[in-house]
């Protein structure tokens, strides 16, 4: 992987009608958190409405002029930071290192065109590890795919975010997908859960049109 000299670091500020908190987006240093170069987990926000923590992409702006946008997708952060393809592949791999992190996620996403950052509503068991898998999937897409961060058992339609065994199995699926695509240089992409017993809510035939051809 190509090396990138980090000369300027801004923490990603999130906005959903509140004042972004720099403290909320500070990286956490704990023995159980792997060393990651491009992703980090925020400190715990204990405010009532936004309790939890989330994953942030380290942002390097191409220019120091102007203000940092407060409603910006992680994919936009990667593009604005001029991260090359090798780094994008590394970031995908770093998402998989959040396996087993059952902390409550307070991640905000732009889920529909023309809307601001929002926390996914009505999602049970939206943990940091589920966030990691969902953000991994969004990195493979363009635009605003219809999926939401709720894993389902395809046979029963039952939500499985809170089933530790199933989420671990989904991580296995994503890990195999990642290793296989390393061999093919991430060309002719498929959705990681295609053909598996699991899917994201909203993941139907129409998802293909949002899928990138290559990373």
Q: What is the pLDDT of residue 214?
A: 93
Q: What is the pLDDT of residue 16?
A: 36
State pLDDT tens for residues 95-122.
Answer: 999 999 999 999 999 877 777 778 888 8
Q: What is the pLDDT of residue 171?
A: 98
How many Cβ atoms from other residues are within 10 Å of residue 52's Cβ? 20
Q: What is the pLDDT of residue 18?
A: 40
For residue 23, give the nearest of 36, 32, 35, 14 by alpha carbon: 14
Q: What is the pLDDT of residue 62?
A: 60
Q: Which residues of the chain have a pLDDT value below 50? A: 1-24, 26, 28-31, 64-68
Q: What is the pLDDT of residue 8?
A: 30
For residue 81, give the nearest of 204, 19, 54, 91 by alpha carbon: 91
State pLDDT tens for residues 1-10.
Answer: 433 333 333 3
Half-sphere exposure of residue 202, counting CA atoms within 13 Å on the CB side? 13
Element (H, E) at 179: helix 164-183
């Amino acid at each position: 992987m190509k090396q990138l000299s980090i000369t300027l670091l801004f923490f990603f500020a999130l906005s959903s009608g509140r004042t972004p908190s720099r403290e909320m987006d500070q990286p956490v240093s704990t023995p159980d958190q792997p060393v990651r170069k491009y992703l980090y987990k925020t400190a715990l926000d204990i405010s009532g409405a936004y309790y939890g923590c989330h994953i942030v992409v380290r942002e390097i702006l191409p220019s120091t002029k102007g203000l940092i946008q407060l409603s910006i997708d992680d994919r936009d952060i990667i593009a604005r930071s001029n991260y090359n393809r090798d780094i994008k592949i590394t970031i995908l791999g770093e998402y998989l290192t959040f396996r087993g992190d059952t902390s409550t996620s307070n991640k905000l996403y732009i889920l529909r065109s023309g809307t601001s950052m929002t926390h996914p509503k009505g999602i049970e068991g939206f943990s940091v590890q589920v966030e990691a898998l969902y953000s991994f999937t969004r990195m493979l897409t363009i635009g605003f795919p219809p999926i939401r961060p709720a894993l389902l058992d395809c046979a029963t339609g039952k939500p499985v975010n809170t089933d530790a065994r199933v989420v671990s199995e989904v991580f296995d699926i994503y890990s195999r997908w990642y290793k296989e695509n390393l061999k093919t240089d991430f060309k002719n992409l498929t959705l990681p859960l295609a053909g598996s017993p699991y899917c994201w809510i909203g993941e139907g035939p129409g998802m293909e049109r949002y899928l990138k051809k290559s990373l």
